[in-house]
Structure 1
Amino acid sequence: MKCIAIDDEPLALELLRKYIQAFPALELVKTFDDAVEGSEYLKAYPVDLLFVDINMPHLTGLNLVAGLENRPMIIFTTAYKKFAHEGFELQALDYLLKPITMERFERSVKKAVEQFEYRNTQPEKVPESIIVRSEYKMVKIELADIAYIEAMVDYIKIHLAGQVHPVLTLMTLKGMLEMLPPGRFSRIHRSYVIPNAGVKSILNKKVTLSSGKQLPVSESYLDFIEKWKNNVS
């Protein structure tokens, strides 16, 4: 885990450096004795774990963390118990009261390692729906209902199974593909995107969908036919 430490007390910062370097799971990227400099660094270079003192001049550790858009795991360090409540309100992983012992620091690192491993072993949730703007409204589209998507100059038509009228939205096919989960939909023509699972058959560069609708596969997207054959064989 990449981490940084921020503390305006040189001795406290040196102790944190010594403790952190004792754990192979931690990689100390930088230390700061100035909270403002540390805050600017974090905005440009995100890390996994932040050790930060609470009571610092110019910018408190609480305000520093509250101002971060992408927060790493937070372990607050302070000589004052009174800040514990505010620290946990910011969803801090732990709160170390100075003087910090190695034993207490080790328990805190164990929490961080467990949290880090949990975050990195959870499968990414695949969306089952998307939201598009159509006729001045926000419309929810279930991915399983998409029969095919058709380009119409500056607009696209989202044809849905069981519905006569498609959903019309101001968007390009390229933009729509970026919204769709990879591997479930394919572009087969400059004008068409289809759900891979909805293909019933392919003959003479024409795709027949489950609905019976036939769509052409253009020369630029002939590789789709080979990919489809390999996936179903």
Structure 2
Amino acid sequence: MKIRCIAIDDEPWALTLIEKYVKQLPQLELVATFEDAIAGSEFLRKYPVDLLFLDINMPDMNGITLASSLINKPFIVFTTAYKKFAYEGFELEAIDYLLKPFDLDRFQKAVDKVEKAMLAAKLSQKSNDASIFVWSEHQQVKVILSEIMFIESRKDYTCFHLYNKPKLLTLLPLKKTEELLPSQEFVRVHRSYIVPVKEIRKIASRKVVLQSGEELPIGRLYADNVSALVKL
């Protein structure tokens, strides 16, 4: 799938350079170029793209203002001759910052970052939609994986602690529950607890602290599982 992009820069030579580099990278499709920031901004509001190469120091509207005004932001790579603007650029969560004049190798590295970010976004969306079914109160109940805060073993039951929903009890043992979950997204931290990796805010001495503030113990037999997370 092509990465649809546009370039906005008041310097014609910079646009020509970007056009040249885009032609050498088959994954990119340059939809349009603009020397006028306002015209480029209006285009983006009508025709969303995946990637924006954006100069910062421009007349009428600078790149920082333009990027801040966008509602549905594409991935942004700032291009400028002024290193002092880098901090402001990254404050806006730009994916990269190219200092003019940049060569093809540096341009390629920026595009590589965009590709990785797009893949991560797709995987995240897929993860958000993922679910499992468990038996609860004589019926199969769908559990959205992204809604799980943590999972707890309670004697004869397994309890799903969910965001903005009542706790869900199932007779499925915790070990069987663990087998249903994607191993790269969930980790067993204790004989009684499984937590989503994304919910771990920090790992303290013998415990994990979740985004919710909940603190769960790390079992001795599961310490290696948690240690592996630190090395990721």
Q: 1:36 aligns with which of 35, 38, 41?
A: 38
Give the letter for the 2:123 counterpart. Answer: T
Q: 1:56 aligns with which of 58, 66, 88?
A: 58
Q: 1:17 aligns with which of 5, 16, 19?
A: 19
CA distance in 2 between partners of 1:3 and 1:143 (Å):
45
Task: Return the offset for 1:117.
Answer: 1.6
Give the letter for the 1:49 counterpart. Answer: L
| 1:72 counterpart residue number | 74
Contact 1:25-1:113 within 8 A present in 2 as well: no
Task: Return the offset for 1:121.
Answer: 2.7
Size of the aligned set, in residue pairs, is: 135
Contact 1:46-1:72 within 8 A present in 2 as well: yes
CA distance in 1 between partners of 2:168 and 2:44 (Å):
40
Flag structure 1 segments of 5+ consecutive residues without an equivalent.
130-139, 146-233
TM-score by length of structure 2 reads 0.55
Q: 2:110 aligns with which of 108, 111, 134?
A: 108
Give the letter for the 2:128 counterpart. Answer: K
CA distance in 1 between partners of 2:36 and 2:18 (Å):
15
58-67 vs 107-116, which deviates more? 107-116
CA distance in 2 between partners of 1:74 and 1:83 (Å):
14
Report Cα offsets for 1:51-104 as digits up to 9, x if no partner.
000000000001000000111111000000110110000001000000111111
Task: Return the offset for 1:105.
Answer: 0.7
Q: 1:84 aligns with which of 83, 86, 93?
A: 86
| 1:191 counterpart residue number | none
Give the letter for the 2:85 counterpart. Answer: F
Contact 1:66-1:90 within 8 A present in 2 as well: yes
Report Cα offsets for 1:167-214 as digits up to 9, x if no partner.
xxxxxxxxxxxxxxxxxxxxxxxxxxxxxxxxxxxxxxxxxxxxxxxx
CA distance in 1 between partners of 2:46 and 2:167 (Å):
36
TM-score by length of structure 1 reads 0.54
Runs of 4+ residues over 2 Å off in structure 1: 126-129, 140-145
Give the letter for the 1:68 counterpart. Answer: L
CA distance in 2 between partners of 1:63 and 1:117 (Å):
28
RMSD between aligned alpha carbons?
Answer: 1.9
Contact 1:74-1:93 within 8 A present in 2 as well: yes
CA distance in 1 between partners of 2:80 and 2:111 (Å):
16
Q: Which secondary structure state, in structure 2, belongs to the residue aligned with residue 43 of structure 1?
A: helix
Flag structure 2 segments of 5+ consecutive residues without an equivalent.
130-143, 149-163, 170-232
CA distance in 1 between partners of 2:41 and 2:167 (Å):
41
